[in-house]
Structure 1
Amino acid sequence: MPELPEVETVRRGLQPAMEGAVLRRLEQRRPDLRFALPENFAERLEGRRIVSLRRRAKYLLVHFDDESVLISHLGMSGSYHVADAGTPGQFHHDRSKDEKHDHVVFELDGPDGRARVIYNDPRRFGFMLLTSEEALDDHPLIRDLGVEPTGNALSAQYLAGRFAGKKAPLKAALLDQKIIAGLGNIYVCEALWRAHLSPRRAARTLVTGAGAPVARLEDLTRAIRAVIDAAIAAGGSSLRDHRQADGTLGYFQHSFSTYDREGEPCARSGCGGYIRRIVQSGRSTFFCPACQR
C-alpha cells in the first residue's frame, strides 16, 4: 500500500494540472471503488474550481471553491496520471496501467490549458468520498489522526508524552496513526535502523520517569524526519503498484537499509550483523539485531 511519501509525491505531481483548474467534466465509469462513489458525484463537482490540493496522512484532499472537499485514498493499487485533453490516449508520459481500470476521469480547464486526470485502480481498494470544509476535521477518517511526520508538531517531547507508560513495542507505537499520521511499515523499519533502535523495544523505555524524552528518542525523531524527507525527494518507493502522477517510478527502494533485505549484511559500517525478519502484529519487520538495541 502506498505510504505517506508516495502519496505526497502524487500530490506534487498532480498540483500543476489540478490546482486553480475548473472541473469541466467528471466521468464516472463504475458506481463504486472500495465504497460507493459519492451520490450525484459529477453534478456536485462539475463547474467548480479546485482551490488547493493537500495531503493529510495517506489521504489526498481536493478542496473546491464551494467548500466541498474530495477525500481520496489510493488503496493497494490506485494511481493518478495526467493526460493531454485534446488527444484521447495521448499521455505526457507512457501510461503505466491498463486503461480498462480507468474508473474516474477529471477533465480540467487549467491555467495552462486543458488536461485530463485519470484515476486507475485494478484492485479497486481505493476510494473517493465527499465532505465539506466545515466537517473535514471531524470526519471519521481525519479526526483521530496524529501529527504529521513532516511538520514541526513532531518532536521528541511530543513523542515522550505519547510513549510514557506504553508497553507496546516501538514498531507498533510508531505505526499507530493516532500518534503519527501516515507513517507506514517501510519507513518505520528504516527510521528505527537509522536510530539504532530495536523494533521490539518497549516505547516507554525512551521516556524518563519525569516524562522527558531520553537522547535516543531525540535520535528517533530526527531519523523519522530524515527518512520521510529522503523518500519524498526520491519519489517514493515503487513497490508493486505505486507510480508517480507522470507514470514514472520512485527510487527510494534502492536506498533501503533494512526493509525487504532479510539475510543480507547490515549496511552500517563496522556492524557485521545481518538483517533479520520477524512478524509483529501480522506485519513483517526488518532489522539488524547486532546494532539495533
Structure 2
Amino acid sequence: MPELPEVETVRRGLAPSMEGALLAELELRRNDLRFPFPLGFSRLVSGRGITSLSRRAKYLLIDLDDGMTIISHLGMSGSFRIENETAADTPGEFHYPRSKDEKHDHVVFHLKGANGDARVIYNDPRRFGFMDIARRADLASHPSFRDLGPEPTGNELSADYLAERFSGKAQPLKSALLDQKNIAGLGNIYVCEALWRSHLSPLRAAGTLVTEAGKPKEELLLLVVAIREVIADAIAAGGSSLRDHIQTDGSLGYFQHSFSVYDREAEPCRTPGCGGTVARIVQAGRSSFYCASCQS
C-alpha cells in the first residue's frame, strides 16, 4: 500500500493540472470502489473549481470552491494519470508494469484550465481505494481522520509527545510507531528505515525509551530525527514506488534503490563497521527488517 511519501508525490504531480482548474464533470464508471461512492457524488462536485490539493496521512485531499473536499485513498493498487490535448498517455520510464486497461479506469476528472482541457484518471485494478466527500471544516471529525495522530513531518511530532504516548508501554516499538493514533501516515517501510537509522530494535518495548519521570531518553530524540529524515528523503526521491505505485507522470521514484534495511534480508548491514546481517521477522502479520548486531 502506498505510504505517506508516495501520496505526497502524487499530490505534487497532480497539483499543476488540478489546482485552479474547473472540474467540469466527475465521471463515475461504476457505483463503488472499496466502498460505494457518496450519494450524488458526481452532481455535488461537477462544475466546482478546485482551489488546492493537500494531504493528511495517506489521504489525498482535493479542496473545492464551495468548502467541500474530495477525500481519496489509493488503496493497494490505485494510481492517477493525466491526459491532455498534447499527450494521449503519460510519459515516463517504467520499471514495473502498471495497469493501462481501461476497464480499471473507474473515475475520470474532466478539467478545464488555463492551459487547456485535461483528464485526470483514477485507475485501480484491485479496487481497494475509495473516494468520499466532506466539508473541509468538518474533516477533523470525519471517521478517516478523527483518531489520527500528528504528521511525521510536522512540528507536532516531538520526543516529548512520543514520550507521553509511549510511557509505561510494553508494546513493541515497531507496533507503536505503526499505530496511526500515535503518528499519522507512518507505514511499514519507513518505520523499518527509521529504526535502522536510530539503531533501535523493532522488538524493543516502546516504554524503554522513556525515563521514569516520563521524559524522552536520548534514543527517543534520535528516533524522532530519523523519522523526519527518512520521510523527507523519500519525498525528495519521489516515494518508494513499490510494485503497484506510479507517479502521476508515469515514472517511478528511486528511493527503493537506497533502502538501507527494508527488503534486504540476508544482506550485509550498511551501518559502517557493523558487520551484521539484515534479518526478517514477522510482527503482527508484517515483515520487519533489521540488524540484530547494531539495533538494540
TM-score interval (norm. to shorter): over 0.9
Taking the TM superposition and a 5 Å limit, the aligned residue runs for 1:23-42 are 23-42=23-42
Distance 1:235 1:134 in 2: 30
Which residue is equivalent to 2:88? 90
Give the 4+ runs in structure 1 shifted more than 3 A: none
Which residue is equivalent to 1:286? 289
Q: CA deviation at 1:266?
A: 0.3
2:213 pairs with 1:210 = yes
Letter of the structure 1 residue corresponding to residue 36 of structure 2: A
2:233 pairs with 1:233 = no
Between 182-191 and 159-168, the greater mean CA deviation after superposition: 159-168
Distance 1:272 1:216 in 2: 22
- The partner residue of 1:129 within 111, 127, 132 is 132
Which residue is equivalent to 2:172? 169
CA RMSD across the alignment: 1.2
Distance 2:219 2:8 in 1: 28
Structure 1 unaligned regions, length at least 5:
none
Which residue is equivalent to 1:71? 71
Letter of the structure 1 residue corresponding to residue 41 of structure 2: F
What are the superposed Cα offsets for residues 64-107 of structure 1, whole Å, 9 maximum, x if unpaired? 111111110000000011111x37x7124159422221110001
- The two structures have a TM-score, normalised by structure 1, of 0.97
What are the superposed Cα offsets for residues 119-160 of structure 1, whole Å, 9 maximum, x if unpaired? 000100000011112321100110110000011111111111
Which residue is equivalent to 2:152? 149
Distance 2:261 2:90 in 1: 35
1:17 is paired with a residue of what secondary structure? helix
2:52 pairs with 1:52 = yes
Quick one: percent identity of the two aligned structures? Answer: 66
Count of matched residue positions in the alignment of Structure 1 and Structure 2: 291
2:48 is paired with a residue of what secondary structure? coil
Q: CA deviation at 1:55?
A: 0.3
Which residue is equivalent to 2:108? 105
- The two structures have a TM-score, normalised by structure 2, of 0.96
Taking the TM superposition and a 5 Å limit, the aligned residue runs for 1:170-209 are 170-209=173-212
Which residue is equivalent to 2:117? 114
Which residue is equivalent to 1:61? 61
Which residue is equivalent to 1:276? 279
Structure 2 unaligned regions, length at least 5:
none
Letter of the structure 1 residue corresponding to residue 45 of structure 2: L
What are the superposed Cα offsets for residues 3-56 of structure 1, whole Å, 9 maximum, x if unpaired? 000000000000111111110111111111001112222211111001111100
Distance 1:161 1:20 in 2: 42
